[in-house]
Chains A and B, each alone.
Chain A
Amino acid sequence: MTSIPEERTYPPRPPAMVRPSRSLLWRWVVDLIPTLITPFIGIAAALGLVVLILEWQGADPRLAWQFLYDGTLATAAERADLMSYWMPLAITAFGLVLTYNAGLWNIGVEGQIIAGAIGATWAARLFAEGEGWRAQITPLGHGWVLLLCFVFAAGAGGLWALLVALLKTRGGVNEIFGGVALNFIIQTFNMYLVSNGGPWQPVGSRATETAAFPEAARLSSYGGFRHLSLTPIYITTAAFILLVLIMYVSRWGLQLRAMGKNLRSAFLLGVHTERNVLMAMMLCGMMAGLAGSFRVLGPYVTRAKLTANPSGGIGFLAILVVLLAAMSALLTPFVSFAFAMLSKGGQKIESGFQWSDPPINLDRSLVRVLQSGIVLMVVLAFGVRNRYFPPRSAQAAVDEDEEVART
């Protein structure tokens, strides 16, 4: 395509509008205000929708709020329980921050959590129950078993994620479809393991779950709370520090961001894009796998087993968290905490209204509607803001583009 270069003349640019000279900091703060307000408009819209639903069902929204508080923060036991729900969600979201910044839609994270749960269960069976594949293995001590459980979980999750990544880079299968397919495959495999006389279902049992793990393969509980253990908190904190180092300090994080902005130009600038895709996905899968292990090694007997649905949907929830946190590593802990609160409070809202007078049937899936509704509304609110009330920094960028176009 050849075109004859044209001499074009432009009229001289009018002088830029002179703004009253305030300090840079002041302008930065002024620019920040709409950014801070926008998400709250979205959240308010979603909350308004849920309040309407509650009123329509005849339930008092203030009572719902009270139940939510009662079920999550009111007592120490509830807070401990909330903690044990928050940790797997948070570590999954940390992993997703990596892939989403690199522009990878890791929908397969749900499957990676299940893979991790299966890996942890396998390690628990091998090393704590001594049920080896061929030979009996001498059961190991508590610390070793737990360590191996985590290693197996991270390995299984990482490999399952690596499979998605390889399908993307080598097989030409988009990570969204590869991830969805592998999610369903591992869910089915998990069902096979624990149902209808599957290999991991205890003989004679009708329940779709394994037997509870022996003491050696359970996290040690802390402070007398049934479901609270410190180990997941340590691991999640370490994962958070790692994530912050990667995203804000290391060169690799910069490369991931560059890939997310424009894969092709990152490649042309010498970034090893394929290797980075594999590594980011694998790291995310390992964190998701650890989340899966937190969910099956729960300190109390009732949670120390592989069930039919070990992830409980926290993978998709973590994707919503990362989208809501705008892929920011620093916001993710707070957003995941809020979502953990909603998820956990949902049970209390359901049971609370069931026993209220008159009883109201309010399914706990309402909080899930609220969660995805909030994300949709906030995303839309930011869209409206950037489109119709663009921030000044973006406006400056547009001006610069025009400048470039003119020269």
Chain B
Amino acid sequence: MTGLESTLSGIIRAAAPIVIAAQGELITERSGVINLSLDGTIMLSAMTAHAVTRITGSLTQGVLAAMAVGAGMALIVVFSSIALRLNQVAVGFVLTILGADLAIFLGKPHFNQVGREIPHMPIPMLKDIPLLGPVLFNHNILIYLSLNLVAAITFYIYRTRPGLTLRAIGEQPEAAFVRGTPVNVLRYAYTMIGGSLVGLAGATYSLSVKLGWREDLSGEGWIALAIVIFGLWIPARVALGAFFIVGLRSIAIDLQSSRVIDLPAQIVNMLPWFLMILTLMVATSGVLERVVRYTPVRFQPAARRFLRAGPPAALGRPFEKH
């Protein structure tokens, strides 16, 4: 593999869990619920996947257990929001901390132990395509899944009727309810599906990307949460955002290790957070609108569609029947 190929392939690989988690959170937020517990959920599910795989010896069971953990955490958030009418942010934040604490406590016996890895699975024929082959078709199944997930969710949200309903309960739950949609039932379902994807992201970390359990996953969930905002709740843009952040991170590490520029390692570690602030500022400011105005008139509607999109109108607002 050439340098470029290995860099790009590394970005696809390292971004996979963030892509999966962000897509899960996107589904959740599109249905009108904020699940803030991502950071803790990823840690707990990563530990679960590693521990269950070590104990049972089965990768499938490890992945499924991680997804169950994610769905369980999401269930607490959505139950306390819909049934108990509690503040989603408060419950989500407490769960973030509880998840991390539980992961560290329960994971002690499995800390730094050798675990199993998801088997490498290059796709025959396709992997020999120059450039594209090594970058896209030379990974394991979870990484392929992360890429296909983006396409699948895009199709689901924009091209199917249940997807339309999903958008409706996040934008206008009252209208959807009048049309006969069981808003709260669907919110339970989508939040738990989103949560299980977050759990899958955790499994992707401990079974593939950052093999094993080393308690160093703090922060990844927050990046995923921020990327959903940066991606303006559009699946493809969210994925692009993940590749962008992870790409910059890996390029900076490459630059630093190759001594092209002499940066302290810490500056590199700060970079994603500066970027996160910067991108959030750009995404919420009027800069994008100005960009649209300077594009040729013919492309303006398309550009506006691509650049301007708000959060789901009912995000974080519990729905009550009257």
Which residue numbers of A lie inside 8 Å of B, CB to CB? Answer: 105, 107, 167, 171-174, 176-178, 180-182, 184-185, 188-189, 191-192, 196, 198, 316, 319-320, 323, 361, 363, 365-366, 368-369, 371-373, 375-376, 379-380, 382-384, 386-387
B281 touches A177 (CB 8 A): no
A384 touches B84 (CB 8 A): yes
User: Nearest B residue to A181 by beta-carbon distance?
Assistant: B273
As a 0/1 sequence over residues 94 to 138 of chain B, the CB contacts with chain A under 8 angstroms (1 = contact) are: 110110011011001100000000000000000000000000000
* Chain A residues in 8 Å Cβ range of B274: 181, 185
B277 touches A181 (CB 8 A): yes
* Chain A residues in 8 Å Cβ range of B270: 184-185, 188-189
- Cross-interface CB contact of A181 among B85, B267, B276, cutoff 8 Å: B276
Main secondary structure on chain A at its contact with chain B? Answer: helix
B101 touches A173 (CB 8 A): no
Q: A167-B277, A167-B281 are in contact. List 6 more A-B contacts (CB 8 A).
A: A174-B229, A320-B94, A363-B105, A365-B101, A372-B98, A383-B85
Does any Cβ of A come within 8 Å of B303's Cβ? no
* Chain B residues in 8 Å Cβ range of A382: 86
Q: Among residues 194 to 253 in chain B, which have CB atoms less than 8 Å away from a CB atom of chain A?
A: 219, 222, 225-226, 229
**9 A–B pairs (Cβ distance < 8 Å), ordered by A:** A171-B285, A178-B280, A181-B274, A181-B276, A184-B269, A320-B94, A372-B94, A386-B85, A387-B84
Does any Cβ of A come within 8 Å of B154's Cβ? no
A210 to chain B, nearest CB (A): 16
B90 to chain A, nearest CB (A): 6
* Chain A residues in 8 Å Cβ range of B265: 196
B2 to chain A, nearest CB (A): 32
B20 to chain A, nearest CB (A): 20
* Chain A residues in 8 Å Cβ range of B266: 188-189, 191-192
User: Nearest B residue to A371 by beta-carbon distance?
Assistant: B101
B98 touches A177 (CB 8 A): no
* Chain B residues in 8 Å Cβ range of A198: 264
A313 to chain B, nearest CB (A): 9
Main secondary structure on chain B at its contact with chain A? Answer: helix
A372 touches B101 (CB 8 A): yes
B26 to chain A, nearest CB (A): 16
CA distance A319 to B277 in the complex (A): 22
CA distance A192 to B265 in the complex (A): 8
CA distance A366 to B101 in the complex (A): 8
- Cross-interface CB contact of A173 among B84, B102, B284, cutoff 8 Å: B284
User: Nearest A residue to B264 by beta-carbon distance?
Assistant: A192
A33 to chain B, nearest CB (A): 21
* Chain A residues in 8 Å Cβ range of B264: 192, 196, 198
* Chain A residues in 8 Å Cβ range of B219: 180, 184
B84 touches A366 (CB 8 A): no
Does any Cβ of A come within 8 Å of B93's Cβ? yes
CA distance A293 to B232 in the complex (A): 40
A107 touches B93 (CB 8 A): yes
* Chain B residues in 8 Å Cβ range of A323: 90, 93-94
* Chain A residues in 8 Å Cβ range of B105: 363, 365-366, 368-369
User: Nearest B residue to A172 by beta-carbon distance?
Assistant: B284
A319 touches B91 (CB 8 A): no
As a 0/1 sequence over residues 133 to 161 of chain B, the CB contacts with chain A under 8 angstroms (1 = contact) are: 00000000000000000000000000000
B90 touches A172 (CB 8 A): no
* Chain B residues in 8 Å Cβ range of A368: 97, 101, 104-105
CA distance A198 to B284 in the complex (A): 36
B101 touches A376 (CB 8 A): no
* Chain B residues in 8 Å Cβ range of A376: 76, 91, 94-95, 98
Q: Among residues 58 to 93 in chain B, which have CB atoms less than 8 Å away from a CB atom of chain A?
A: 76, 80, 83-86, 89-91, 93
CA distance A173 to B274 in the complex (A): 12
